[in-house]
Every structure is written in C-alpha cells, then in structure tokens.
Structure 1
C-alpha cells in the first residue's frame, strides 16, 4: 500500500501535481453500499440529461403553435392582440422550424471541445437554451422566433456532446452505455410535454412554461458534481481520490488517478473527416450511411412531427390536438423499442421490414385521402393509419441508420461520423420540412405523401442491394465501441 502511494506521488509530482494521502481511519472506514454508489452515479447523470427537455419542447413547439401563428391577421387586430405582431405565413413556417436545426448543426462541430470540462459544457448548453426560451417569451416579430430557435438548437448541439462526456466520466462503463442510450428519450419526453400542454395555452403562456422548465434545468446543472477527470485537470488530486474511492471502491483509486492523468495527456487518435474520406472503404461506407440517413428523413416522419396538428385537422379528424398527442406518444414508445431492442435484431431485416411497411401504409393513407374515408367511413381512419406509419417508420428507418455506425466504421471514426450524422440529419430535416410545407400549402396533403411513397419505395431497393448483412460482427463491434 505504501509503495503504491509513493509511486503515485512520484508520477503525479512529475506532472506538477502534489497530493498528501490521509491514512487516519482509512482501514476502518466502511465502504459505501452498492445502491448508494449507483445513486451517486445515476442522479447526477439524470439531472444533466434533463438539459435535453427544453430542446424537445422546442422541437414540438410548431405543432400546437402554428395553427395560431399562421392565421391571417384581421384588420385592427394588430393593435389589440399582441400575438398578431408575430403572425407568420405558411411559407415562413418552414424557415422558423428549420432554424432549430440550423443552430443544432452549427454548434455540433464544437461539441467535442473539452477545455471547458464536461460539467461546464453542459452548463453552457443549458444556458443557451434558457436564453432562447426567454427570447421566445419576449418575441415581437419573426426575428425573435428565428433567434430563439437557433439558440435552443445551438445549446442542444453543443451540450449533447458534453453530456455524453459527463456521463462517461461520472458512471462506470456498463451504466454509462445504458444512460447514454436514454439521451434521446429525454428529447422525446420534451416533445410529449409540448404536445400535451401546448394546445391548451396561448403562445406567451407556452413560452413562459418552457422558460420556467429551462431555468429549473439550468439551476440543477449548476449544482452538478465535478467528475474525477476535471478534478485531476484542475489539480484537485485529493478530491479526485476521494470521489473515485466512493464511486468505485472495487478499483484501486491510485491506479485510476494515473490512468486519468494519462488520458488527459494522451494524444487524440480519433479520425478526422479527411482521414475518413481518404480511405476508399470508409468513403464507400460513409456514402451508404448518408443515403440511409436520407431515406430516414425523406420518408415522412420529420415533416409529420412538425405539422402534426395541422395534418390531422386537414384530414378531418375530430380534436386534432388530441390526435397529435396520441401520435407523439406512439412515436415515443416506438423509439424506446428502437433504442433498446432493435440493435439485438438483424438490422438489414428490420430496415427492409420498415421500408416495405412504410410504403404500404403511405399507400393506404393516400387512398384514405383520395376516397375521403374519414368522412365516409370513420372519423379516425387517418389517425390509425398514421399511428401505424410512425411506429413502423421509427423502429426501422428511424432507429437503424444511427446504429449502423459500429458496423460500417472503426471505433476511431465514431466521433466524426456521429457529428456528421447530427449535422446531415438536421439539414435533411430542414429541407424535407420546407418541401412538405410548400406541397401541403400549394397542392394539398395528397402530394407530399406521394413524395414520401416514392422515397420509401426506393429505400427498399437500397436496403436489399447496399445495406450489409453482418449481424454477429455488428454486435461484437458494438460491445467494443
């Protein structure tokens, strides 16, 4: 024991650190229970992940607010109704929706920045989202809306990468993987919140509620514990030693401190975009991955999530706001299955099932629209078809492309490919939202669903020919990654 301490002191002193060991009462100290240790790993991680809630609420903001904001302004209304000051046209609605993804895309390349430390990176992301929601509350024209959505998107784009680092530094490996998988579920929980209270409050009240939630999340973020890695970087070796001993008593804290110091000073071995593009095999896989993401976004789900309430109103479904809530809840449940269960299945088979199923369901929805089945037969026909559509889409086309990363790329390329996914995914979502809005506004709901049908049909051919069928090696590589 003494030899290990002297070895640690020597290694740390070489790096300019000093540490004095406390031995009093050390041997007789009772180790913390396993339950208590897990709580001290899970609770800070969950509190940090709540940062995603304001982004999820902003993601769901258009559906309950667009029916009001896109109404034409009546004469004299601008002097009596403050909402009239920020009325937008249908053409502007897609641009407003897209600015959330513009902010998300712009900030994502900086999400791997480690100089601030993971805790303070999460804090910066939560701060940007809080400022964005306060700006939405105080909106006076469309530029406030654009700035607000950009800031919330930027906060998420930067903060999510920092959040993954934070969870990885606070939690043990197996727990870290499990909690990291749940990040998107907090985004979708925010979506459900937006759809749940949005239809029953006006624009200002919606923004106030979201601002309060953002402030509470920011308050929690301020009091997050600092992980051992950041304590070592700031020279607080004694505190880091105590924290490691508490969280992982089965490990030798002296050895862990040395490992952390080596990681802090280690050279980054991750591949860059240029490295990926230089290798023909990775370049080919990147193209396959990009096309898979294209089919994911252009086969219909993103646009239907933005204009959910307006779609159900156009279909003639009673209480479109409640139909939208049921729709988003089905989307949430499908994502739970997609995140935790789909990786255990053959990804090519799941993608093929999803592509075929989505194509058939879009055909049914087109028939429902053409034959006006909601009025002739049952008012909720479109709701049932759309619920099946979003579930089948989410568990396959919605979930599988991201899970293909370990199968198509080595571990060293994971960071850059994940960043590419977030940015490309966001830009495609922006583009298809605009295309949907134009076709919906100028031609009607029939036209964009025909486009979705064409895209999903092509995806069937793409999956059969290009998606690799390598289930066993995928599972092994996912474990290694």
Structure 2
C-alpha cells in the first residue's frame, strides 16, 4: 500500500497554495525541469535501494531486507513532512525512495517463492491490488485536505499526507515479524529443517501423509535445482552469460517486462493527472482533484479484474491486451488534448484516461512484478530481480522527470510518444515473452534450458504444459513408490508385533 501511496501523493500537492508558498521555485509554472526532478528524484532513491538487494536480498533474506527498507522509509517520510526548504524535501524523497526500492525489489520475489504454482499469479495480483489502493487513498487524502476549510490554505494540506507514510511502514514491519522466510532462501542457506517447516506450513493438504509427501517432494525439487545451478556457475557475474540455464536472456526479459510497464506512460497519469486536468484541460483545482480521486479509485477497482483471470487465461494474453488498449487509449488522448478549448474533447480525454488505467490494471500492472520472479532461476533470482527493479525505477525517473517539460513544450505530442512505445511492445511481447502460468518455478527453468532461442513466446504454452505434465507423472511415481514402501514397513511391523 505504501508503494502506491508514495506514487500518488505528490502530484496533487504541487498546485496547493501552501505548498506553492513554501516551494516557490517549482510552483506556478516556474522551472518545470526542477519540478520534475523534485518529484522524480524519489525514483533515483528507489533505483539505488533496489540495487542494494543484489547483496542484501540473498545474504540477509527476504524478511530482514523488507523490514530494513521500511525503517529507512520512516526516516525519509519524516524529513519530507517537516521540510521548510526544497533541499530538505529532495533529500527526504531520496531517502524514502531508497527504502522503498529495497522493499519493492524483494516483496514480489518473497511472495512468489512462498506461493503455490496454481495461485502464484493471484497472490502477486492481490499484492499489486493493494498497491493501487494506496494510489487511490493518496488522491482522496489530498482531495479531502484541499477541500477542507480547516486545512486548505495551511501547511497541513501537504504535510499531513506526507506524514502518513510511516504509518504503512510500521504496519509492514509489524506484520513481517509473523511471516515465514522464503523456503528457497532457507535451503540456499543450508537450513533444511526450517525450510521443510515453512513448506509444510504453506501446504493446504489436510492428510498428514499427503502433506509430508508434498513437503518432501517440493524441498527435494528446490534442493536439486539449486545444486544444478550452483554446479553450472557460482559467480554472480553469471547473470550476464547464457549457459544452459540462459541467465542473460532471462535477466533481459525480466528487465524488459519491468521497464515496459514504465514506458507505457502509466506514471504520467499516476503522478500528474491532477496537473493534466487543471493545466491542460483547464479544469478548476477542486474539480481536478475530485476527478483524480475517481481515477485512482477506478484504477484500484479495475485491478480486481485480472485476479480470477491470471491463472486461467495466462500471462501472455493479458500482457497483449494491455499493450493494445494502452496504445489505443494514448492515441485518443493525444487527439483530444490537441484541442484543449473544446469541452467535448476534454470529456473524451478524461474517459480515455480511465480506459488507459483499466487496461494497465488488467494487463501490465501486476505482471510487471510477477513475471520477473517467474522467469529468473533461483541462483540468480535475487540479483536479477534487483537489477530489473533498479532499471524499473530509472525508467520511472525518466518518465516522471520529463513529463512536466513535455506537457509544457509539446502538449499532445507527449501522448503520441507513449502511444508509439506501446505499439512497439506488442510484437516484442508476442515473440519474446513466454507463458509461465500454472508451472513451478523449477518447471520454468526446464522450459528455458530446453529452448535455445530468444523467440520463445509462441511455443512456450504447449512446451510448458508438456514439462508440467512430465513433472506431475514423476511426482506421482515418487508418491506411489513411497506409499508402497510405507505399506511394506507397516506389514513388517505388524508381523513382528504378532
């Protein structure tokens, strides 16, 4: 929730009277470059924080890294809320971004590694659903304080929204104390008994024997996969080589998925939609904030749509749907924003901003964080996801930094730019991105190992189904053999007692 709240909270504050009085150098159209930097510098902090996970993610584990990141966010949020100068605000945003980058780089990995293959997609989608609720909450907090006569013209209108950030961090730290570490991290650290306990705890089987068998099979699969990876190349630089596991291809795909999400133009909308409504479409500040609140609310509600679909339809259909609809929406917004004095065009632009957010919530938002976890092998997963997340934040910085400048200088051309990037993503998704639905992370390893080509997308669904089927047959044979052995042991024990 904090991830989304941080993304949505700042844009609505920029045009507030008290905020403008406190930071005149970035207000009233003054120095749009510096304004963009002040907002976007948060992403630079996030990128730096994400890259530290290359070391901390595997060494300290998922849980400790998340708790450390949330603690850093508390410091950064306090600096922002108490700012009386632009320098302190920028420093606070960098510090908070650093902590958020650490947490955001680890949470999807932690979630994916603790989820079962059949519901891993839904689990991460729920996580991103809460993220979007944070964006909606930020918009409505900003609107409520701006509309209230008690706070609209004083510092509380912008200090209180920023001061609420530590609340989410304290809650995350408290809940993390009761959550298990990733079993894959535990096995990597040699803590086999603890890893077995976690897998057993996460199982949904009620029969004790079936539960024990499932635990043994899962732990054995993870251990075998890790041993094979360790034998292939133990250097962390291996992620930049191919080899049989195809490390570099998988790192590239993970980075592509995360950067693609940013380059759809989504954070032009997330960060600056109140400014688009107020300065581009010429709506009043109050109406701009109100409509922005509904934009955030609709974005969150739309994120419920892919939750039942992600593990049924698969990843690729949703990604393709998102890219096509985002491209079309940006084309229409560009065409209508070109006529800012035409009310009908303004209404159409608002409608297609809602449609764009819907396409993003259904097609790219959750998958940007799910698929990098699925497509990277255990040996390099922490490092690959950290690098991908770092690039994600750098792209985020780029979009947020240039958006005010683009809007002020080329107007509707801003939306033409993002329509073009979405158009390019369609063939790239189709040919390069594999299907990963309903497969174990270890089965996805086999998919890459048996496909020595980058054009893996069109054939991936059928091949993965065959791999998954073979895995189930082996597991069933393993289970039957174990049951037969147990039955023999019981017969011997019964004979001896007789």
Relative to the length of structure 2, the TM-score reads 0.67
Larger relative contact order (Cα-Cα within 8 Å, sequence gap ≥ 6): 2
Question: Does residue 354 in structure 1 map to residue 319 in structure 2?
Answer: no
Quick one: which of 238, 242, 245 aligns to 1:279?
242
Aligned match of 2:266: 301
* Aligned pair partner of 1:99 in 41, 52, 55: 41
Distance 1:411 1:379, change over 3 A: same
The 1:451–1:330 alpha-carbon spacing in structure 2 relative to 1, beyond 3 Å, is same
Equivalent in the alignment of 1:60: 8
> Could you list the runs of 5+ residues in structure 2 that have no partner in the other structure?
146-156, 434-456, 472-498
Cα distance change of structure 1 residues 373 and 458 upon mapping to structure 2, 3 Å threshold? farther
Aligned 8 A contact 2:44 2:94 in 1: yes
CA contact (8 A) 2:11 2:275 kept: yes
CA distance in 2 between partners of 1:316 and 1:85 (Å) = 22
Does the CA contact (< 8 Å) of 1:169 and 1:227 recur in 2? no
Using the TM superposition, give the Cα deviation of residue 312 of structure 1 relative to its aligned residue in structure 2, in angstroms. Answer: 1.6
Q: Does 1:132 align with 2:99?
A: no
Check whether the contact 2:139–2:293 (CA below 8 A) recurs between aligned residues.
yes
Taking the aligned partners of 2:367 and 2:64, their CA distance within structure 1 comes to 32
Aligned to 1:31: none
Between 377-386 and 460-469, report the one with greater CA deviation: 460-469
Name the structure 2 match of 1:471. Answer: 461
Distance 1:428 1:447 in 2: 19
Give 5+ residue unaligned stretches, structure 1. Answer: 1-52, 74-81
1:204 counterpart = 2:171: no
- Shift in CA distance, 245/148, structure 1 to aligned 2, threshold 3 Å: same
Query: Which is worse superposed, 166-175 or 335-344?
Result: 166-175
In the aligned structure 2, how far is the partner of 1:167 from the partner of 1:288?
20
- What is the CA-CA distance between 1:423 and the residue it aligns to? 1.3
The match for 1:312 is 277
- Tell me: CA distance 1:401–1:157, structure 2 relative to 1, closer, same or farther (3 Å): closer
Contact persistence 1:269–1:412 (CA under 8 A): yes
Where does 1:217-232 land on structure 2 (aligned, <5 Å)? 217-218=172-173, 220-221=174-175, 224=178
Aligned to 1:182: 126
In 2, Cα distance between equivalents of 1:350 and 1:240: 33
- 2:96 aligns to what? 152
**1:117–1:404 distance in 2 versus 1, CA, 3 Å:** closer
Deviations 1:402-433 (A, max 9, x none): 55547855554443332232111111111122
> How many Å apart are 1:93 and its aligned residue?
2.4
2:362 corresponding residue in structure 1: 395
Shift of residue 92 of structure 1?
1.8
**Map of 1:433-444 to 2, 5 A cutoff?**
433-443=400-410
Q: What is the deviation of 1:447?
A: 1.9
The 1:446/1:127 distance shift into structure 2, 3 A limit, reads: same
Distance 1:400 1:238 in 2: 33
Q: Residues 406 and 293 from structure 1, CA distance in 2 versus in 1: closer, same or farther, beyond 3 angstroms?
A: closer
Verify the 8 A CA contact 1:60 1:305 in the aligned structure 2.
yes
- 8 Å CA contact 2:14–2:20 kept in 1: the answer is no
* Count of equivalent residues: 412
Match of 1:191 among 135, 141, 144: 135
1:102-117 equivalence runs, <5 A = 102-111=44-53, 112-113=56-57, 116=60
Q: TM-score, normalised by structure 1?
A: 0.69
Aligned CA-pair RMSD: 4.5
Q: Which whole-Å deviations, capped at 9, do the CAs of 1:452-476 have from their partners, x for residues lacking one?
A: 1222233334345545122244567
